[in-house]
Structure 1
Amino acid sequence: AETATMTRSPAEAVRETVEVPRAPAPAAAALEPAPEPAPEALVPEQLTPSRRLFVSRVVGGAAATAALATVGYGTHGVLRGPRVKRVTVPLAKLPRAAHGFRIAVVSDIHLGPILGRAHARRVVDAINGTQPDLIAVVGDMVDGTVSDLGPAAEPLADLRARHGAYFVTGNHEYFSGAAQWVDHVRELGMRPLENARVEIDGFDLAGVNDLAGESEGEGPDFARALGDRDRTRASVLLAHQPVVIHDAVRHGVDLQLSGHTHGGQLWPGNFIAGLANPTVAGLERYEDTQLYVSRGAGAWGPPVRVGASSDITVVQLASRRT
Structure 2
Amino acid sequence: MLYTVFIGLSAFFALYTGLRLIRPSRLGFWARIVAWCCLCYAWGSIPAEGFLRHAGVESRTIDVIAFGGAVAFGVASLLLVLLLSRDSLLLLWHARRVLPRRRPRPLHDASRRQFIQGASGTGVMALAGVFSGTAMYGAMRVPAVRDIQMPVHGLHPALDGYTVVQLSDLHVGAFLGVDWLEGVVERANAAGADLIAVTGDIVDGSPRHLREQIEPLRRLQAPDGVFGVSGNHEYYSGISRWLPVLESLGLNMLENRSVRIRRGEATLLLGGVSDYAAHRFGRQYASDSRKAMLHGEDTDFKLLLAHQPASVFAAEKAGWNAMLCGHTHGGQVFPFMAVVSMVQPYLAGLYRHGAMQLYVSRGTGFWGPPFRLGAPAEISRVILRRA
Same fold (TM over 0.5): yes
Provide, for residues 243-289 of structure 1, a one-character-per-residue CA deviation record: whole Å limited to 9, x for no partner: 11111111111110000000011133211211111110001111110
Partner of 1:28: none
Is contact 1:243-1:278 (8 Å) kept?
yes
Partner of 2:97: none
Partner of 1:188: 249
Please state how far the C-alpha of 1:46 moved relative to its aligned partner: 5.2
Choose from 265, 269, 275 the match for 1:204. 269
Partner of 2:339: 272
Number of residues of Structure 1 aligned to a counterpart in Structure 2? 277
Partner of 1:165: 226
Is contact 2:269-2:299 (8 Å) kept?
no
Instruction: Say which structure is richer in helix.
Output: 2
Larger Rg: 1
Output the amino acid matched with 2:195: L
Partner of 1:20: none
Confirm or deny that 1:246 pairs with 2:313.
Answer: yes
Distance 1:281 1:45 in 2: 53
- In angstroms, what is the RMSD of aligned CA positions? 1.6
Is contact 1:93-1:233 (8 Å) kept?
no
Partner of 1:13: none
Partner of 1:316: 383
- Report the 3-state secondary structure (helix = DSSP H, G, I; strand = E; otherwise coil) of the residue aligned with 1:114: coil
- Report the 3-state secondary structure (helix = DSSP H, G, I; strand = E; otherwise coil) of the residue aligned with 1:149: helix
The TM-score with structure 2 as length reference comes to: 0.69
Change in 2 beyond 3 A, CA 1:124/1:46: farther
Provide, for residues 198-252 of structure 1, a one-character-per-residue CA deviation record: whole Å limited to 9, x for no partner: 0112310000001232022201122211133224521000010101111111111
Partner of 2:207: 146
The TM-score with structure 1 as length reference comes to: 0.82
Is contact 2:268-2:299 (8 Å) kept?
no
Distance 1:208 1:98 in 2: 23
Distance 1:273 1:48 in 2: 41
Change in 2 beyond 3 A, CA 1:57/1:121: same
- Report the 3-state secondary structure (helix = DSSP H, G, I; strand = E; otherwise coil) of the residue aligned with 1:211: coil
Is contact 1:231-1:252 (8 Å) kept?
no
Change in 2 beyond 3 A, CA 1:135/1:45: farther
Change in 2 beyond 3 A, CA 1:222/1:54: same
Is contact 1:111-1:119 (8 Å) kept?
no
Distance 1:157 1:303 in 2: 25
> RCO higher in 1 or 2 (8 Å CA, sep ≥ 6)?
1
- Report the 3-state secondary structure (helix = DSSP H, G, I; strand = E; otherwise coil) of the residue aligned with 2:320: coil
Please state how far the C-alpha of 1:84 moved relative to its aligned partner: 1.2
- Report the 3-state secondary structure (helix = DSSP H, G, I; strand = E; otherwise coil) of the residue aligned with 1:65: helix
| Identical amino acids, percent of aligned pairs | 38
Change in 2 beyond 3 A, CA 1:62/1:124: same
| Structure 2 unaligned regions, length at least 5 | 1-104
Provide, for residues 111-169 of structure 1, a one-character-per-residue CA deviation record: whole Å limited to 9, x for no partner: 11111222211211221121211000000011111111111111111112111110100
Partner of 2:8: none
Distance 2:383 2:108 in 1: 61
Please state how far the C-alpha of 1:188 moved relative to its aligned partner: 0.9
